[in-house]
Structure 1
Amino acid sequence: MEPILDIKGLRVTFQTNDGPVEAVRGIDLSVKPGETVAIVGESGSGKSQATMALMGLLARNGKATGSALYRGQELIGMSERNLNKVRGDKITMIFQEPMTSLDPLYRIGEQLAEPLRFHRGLSRAKARPRIVELLKLVGIPEPERRIDSYPHELSGGQRQRVMIAMALACDPDILIADEPTTALDVTIQAQILTLLAELQQRLGMAILFITHDLGIVQRFADRVYVMRRGEVVETGATADLFAAPAHPYTRMLLDAEPAGRKLPPPENAPVLLDGQNVEVVFRSSGGLFQPADELRAVDGISVALHQGQTIGIVGESGSGKSTLGRALLRLLPSAGVISYKGRELTNDPAAMRPMRRELQLVFQDPFGSLSPRMTVGRIITEGLMIHEPALSARERDVRAGEALAEVGLEPGMRNRYPHEFSGGQRQRIAIARTMILKPKVIVLDEPTSALDRSVQKQIVDLLRDLQQKHGLSYLFISHDLAVVRALADYILVMKQGRVVEQGQTEAIFDHPAQDYTRTLMAAALETTRFRQEDPAPVLP
């Protein structure tokens, strides 16, 4: 069978302040009709940039050379007008970071209607039933109501599902899925993968699947390309590659997994952050013929975070995890008593400003929180300009390099811009921006969701080391239960704004008391990646 997509000698080069950077170095790749092909590799390996090149979506300083044929049509160098006839219709893409792909000023129904109106000529009225159908397919609750929601009113996982619905709207020939389950909890991951498999079988579309989760690859892909530093180091049928990986880098990816347990805090450790009966209620004003709506995102939760402790907050998308984290830092209006070191925190932004240095937050979507107009060095040191104004520019620059080195990036990268980094690298930059201030309490909202397993191990080790050295306290919000188990002392399990179970980490994992918790654990086991018994080799 002839390939539907045939890539030969593809190269992607970015012109940066430090000179040209070659992100993709002459790769060959093909996809046949109805086939699922996975591209795997660590953050920065070039897997996303390769697909962005064939879609004509590289940043302005990026240039693609080589060949990418879709049904005999050359995509590299194709005019914008002709590309628009292909992308969004014949070839669609699910992006890694949904909040930066959805327009915050438009309702999701309006945005889902765009490809249907442009490529299918449907009116708004005729597009609406199809949009509701798509939202149902991707598991959005109450689609008839959610169709009129804005992106900020959805959880991270729900926003990603909207992006998946948009990509599937026109029944594409090829679906490029760039980390489509990164922001989803374990139960929804399985649903989305099943949905994609069913749609592929029904429509006969090909899927080019970009991921760092090898568990998904093993269950989902027919063939695999393994990328490292812009090059394909190994390729083959999925079963053969997992059974007998030939390259040591592939073997390292298979064996990577966050492991170990953190040391518990002292029994007499003082409480730093204390929340009692915390509530967050979102209210809509309603319309002319619609009553006002009320959503209790956080419903009477109490939590006490001790010095040196990590509390893991787990639950499905939309359970209120992120909202609780922001409420405890008074980053959104909330009811209840919240205190830090015995001092009550108010909803007054001015009163909270002096305390922000010690109470920090790492956001789930790094690209949305990093200014595209600033270099990484300026982004990282922005907090120092507020909280340590006496530092010279040279001192700030040195601190920026040290912070980048701490999170596993080259200090010289501080002169680049966010768009020049992979999703995982951007997340590490976001962590560096927080760590540079040496806070006391950090709310980590899915800080490893965009990272591959090998980098997750590094970040988990980094967080443990910083915690032990400085006595830091973490609220760790995540749907990745393997990471939570490696990092947390105590766990809160949330569902629909409430805590349904809580306790010591090992007790929750080994003896969950609630059916909901057991469902989360079972889904995590189902999506656990393939494991090899042999130890990983030392890479040259």
Structure 2
Amino acid sequence: MAETVLEVRNLRVTFRTLDGTVEAVKGIDLVVKAGETVAIVGESGSGKSQTMMAAMRLLASNGEATGAVEYRGRNLLELPKSELNKVRGAKISMIFQEPMTSLDPLYTIGNQLIEPIMRHRRLGAKDAKAEALRLLKLVHIPDPERRMGSYPHEMSGGQRQRVMIAMALANDPDVLIADEPTTALDVTIQAQILVLLAELQKKLGTAIVFITHDLGIVRRLADRVYVMRRGEVVESGPTEQIFTTPQHDYTRMLLSAEPTGRKAPPAPNAPIMLDGRNVEVTFRIGGGFLAGPPMLLRAVDRINVILKERQTIGIVGESGSGKSTLGRALLRLLPSEGRIRFEGRDISTATKDQMRPLRHEMQLVFQDPFGSLSPRMTVGQIITEGLRVHEPNLTRKERDQRAKEALREVGLDPVMRNRYPHEFSGGQRQRIAIARAMILKPKVVVLDEPTSALDRSVQKQIVELLRKLQADNDLSYLFISHDLAVVRAMADYIIVMKQGKIVEEGPTDEIFDDPREAYTQTLMAAALDATRFRAEV
């Protein structure tokens, strides 16, 4: 029998809020043994992440944990901070769900990797730098020598997630807690990361606690599964047993949830809402008095896009391919070359003041909902902030009513509008971000990974919601995602990007059923082959 390295007994987690005490975790038990992978699954808000945040004593200031979390017989909830710090980051390490908010924007990636290595492994600066470089290569960061000097905002969401994984692996931990570690990754890199984690586990005997909403990953990677709902464990057991003979109705619902349906194309004579011609975005990286001239990175390379009314264009490709940059450029949120027209009006050279009246008609739902939601504002204030600018004549009562309606539309209880972002799960925060965009009744919406933090059952609801909003309000979407199952259910036209260029485009069914380019074929194979990763591991 393998040794138990982490044991949770009767863990309860509560939060004090303006609406009273919220019980997020309700007396759960779980066991993690050396060298095994334990998955914790459930819908957003089920208590998955809060369970492990409590175990690491990283709860928000209004949170409290009771019970026992024992690491090799020592209760972490009772350890003095000096002793706890010898365990956190060294013996137990965590990959957080939102890499942008976990990485310090003021320090380079290299510095943020080197510091914990020097602290926990007592290496000198030179050896720590070499180890940091090795870790970046291990998680497949392109051009790792140069990326050591990059800041978090200079990297894509997927690249930042890989840096977080490298930081978590830096000190060869006994237990690796992975909270949605592949959420921001495209399918090909996701496959590499899963193989990497499995290889590390075999080599070092590391136990992995895998928190995820992606049941496909769970089946391929986990030895045992705990299914959580509303703060309780409703079912647990060996992975194959959970997937083949689930006992609880909730588990069966999770296993059957998948975005379905197909998006009909717009009418042939539908008006053009957004027209980008030869759009080009170039970034200057590095440079300075001692560093020499900066390097020019062409993130978007002379791309043409035509978006019609009621159309959804899905933009897919690996992280760093330029998907998000293209979306922001078309909304004039980044400097770009080329011509961009919105409803026939040339906005290529429009100033900030000239763009302001159009902003409520051109909205963006960000990839990282936590980083884009002010921690100092309630959800109600966040959602209605745009109304203050674009509909200043509304009364406070009218704004509040609009906030209630927007929250209902995205499946959240309007009572929650008095809470703050940190009191919500990742999936709930993503829905808040969608509500903030939709409350302004836009015409064009760029959705940048809008379902990346959501479990499958909620993804299905959001896909259906977005399609309904589109039909009811004649909306046009640019849907940026690495989740090809969601893209197929949402989009009627696909653009495949690689290194800032379009490698293939066409109607959705045509791209999925008969991709012409080798790169597109690789993406499809990585996303749709459910057995490959287990064979590789």
Partner residue, 2:182: 181
Distance 1:291 1:466 in 2: 48
After TM superposition, the structure 1 = structure 2 runs for residues 396-415 of structure 1, keeping only pairs within 5 Å, are 396-415=399-418
Conserved 8 A contact 1:364-1:447: yes
Conserved 8 A contact 2:299-2:321: yes
After TM superposition, the structure 1 = structure 2 runs for residues 286-365 of structure 1, keeping only pairs within 5 Å, are 286-287=287-288, 288-345=290-347, 346=349, 348-365=351-368
State the one-letter code of the partner of 1:248: D
What are structure 2's unaligned runs of at least 5 residues?
none
- Does residue 368 of structure 1 match 2:371? yes
Conserved 8 A contact 2:220-2:531: no
Distance 1:77 1:347 in 2: 59
Distance 1:442 1:478 in 2: 14
State the one-letter code of the partner of 2:431: R
Identity between Structure 1 and Structure 2 (%): 73
Distance 2:291 2:239 in 1: 55
1:233 CA displacement: 0.2
After TM superposition, the structure 1 = structure 2 runs for residues 218-297 of structure 1, keeping only pairs within 5 Å, are 218-284=219-285, 286-287=287-288, 288-297=290-299
Distance 1:527 1:389 in 2: 51
1:318 CA displacement: 0.3
Partner residue, 1:537: none
Partner residue, 2:24: 23
Partner residue, 1:511: 514
After TM superposition, the structure 1 = structure 2 runs for residues 428-447 of structure 1, keeping only pairs within 5 Å, are 428-447=431-450
Instruction: Find the partner of 2:390 among 378, 387, 391.
Output: 387
Residues 398 and 78 from structure 1, CA distance in 2 versus in 1: closer, same or farther, beyond 3 angstroms? Answer: farther
1:162 CA displacement: 0.1
Residues 285 and 109 from structure 1, CA distance in 2 versus in 1: closer, same or farther, beyond 3 angstroms? Answer: closer
Partner residue, 2:110: 109
State the one-letter code of the partner of 2:66: T
Instruction: Find the partner of 2:486 among 471, 483, 487.
Output: 483
What is the TM-score normalised by the length of structure 2?
0.97
List structure 1 segments (4+ residues) > 3 angstroms apart after TM superposition: 527-530
Partner residue, 2:121: 120
Aligned length: 530
1:120 CA displacement: 1.3
Conserved 8 A contact 1:100-1:367: yes
Distance 2:36 2:59 in 1: 25
Residues 206 and 427 from structure 1, CA distance in 2 versus in 1: closer, same or farther, beyond 3 angstroms? Answer: same
State the one-letter code of the partner of 2:480: I
1:78 CA displacement: 2.5
Distance 1:495 1:175 in 2: 32
Distance 1:462 1:245 in 2: 29
Deviation per CA, 1:433-454: give whole Å up to 9, x if none. 0010010000000000000000
- Give the RMSD, CA atoms, in angstroms: 1.2
Conserved 8 A contact 1:333-1:347: no
- Secondary structure of the residue aligned to 1:76 is helix
Residues 167 and 293 from structure 1, CA distance in 2 versus in 1: closer, same or farther, beyond 3 angstroms? Answer: same
- Secondary structure of the residue aligned to 2:4 is coil
Deviation per CA, 1:199-237: give whole Å up to 9, x if none. 010011100000011110111000000000000000000
- Secondary structure of the residue aligned to 1:357 is helix
Distance 2:291 2:480 in 1: 38
Conserved 8 A contact 1:334-1:347: no
1:84 CA displacement: 1.1
Distance 2:224 2:341 in 1: 53
What are structure 1's unaligned runs of at least 5 residues?
531-540
Distance 1:289 1:356 in 2: 39
Distance 2:258 2:55 in 1: 32
1:316 CA displacement: 0.3
1:349 CA displacement: 1.5
Partner residue, 1:194: 195
1:289 CA displacement: 4.5
Conserved 8 A contact 1:68-1:75: yes
